[in-house]
Amino acid sequence: GDSVTQMEGPVTLSEEAFLTINCTYTATGYPSLFWYVQYPGEGLQLLLKATKADDKGSNKGFEATYRKETTSFHLEKGSVQVSDSAVYFCALSGGSYIPTFGRGTSLIVHP
């Protein structure tokens, strides 16, 4: 079946540092890929998505590129802020009603 693998957390960075959170997937066919963010005490929110190979999703300074050759969708941000501290989930949708989520990666940004 489909699966998503994310890097273990927590990821701890200083403000203005560069962020990468790795995500790789296995799926049949051509899934769409997503990053969700969960701020403390809140539900998940869609951060960005890409629906086909080589697409780049971007939002709020975050970017991720759909790489079919490496089955990856790594999340990046050039300069993180304290307000980016949250849990980030990579997910895929293979066109069914049941999406597949990764385990989540906690990001902690210090001033």
Binding residues for other proteins, rule: CB under 8 A, are 4, 6, 32, 34, 41-46, 49, 51, 89, 91, 93, 95-99, 101-104
**Which residues in 28-103 belong to E strands, given as ranges?**
32-38, 44-50, 56-59, 62-65, 75-77, 86-93, 100-101
Task: Give the Cβ contact number of residue 11 at 10 Å.
Answer: 17
Quote the least distance from Cβ 13 to other proteins, whole Å.
22
For residues 65 and 99, which CB has a smaller minimum distance to other proteins in the complex? 99
Q: What is the dihedral of CA 5, 73, 95, 54, to 10 degrees?
A: -150
Quote the least distance from Cβ 50 to other proteins, whole Å.
10
Quote the least distance from Cβ 7 to other proteins, whole Å.
13
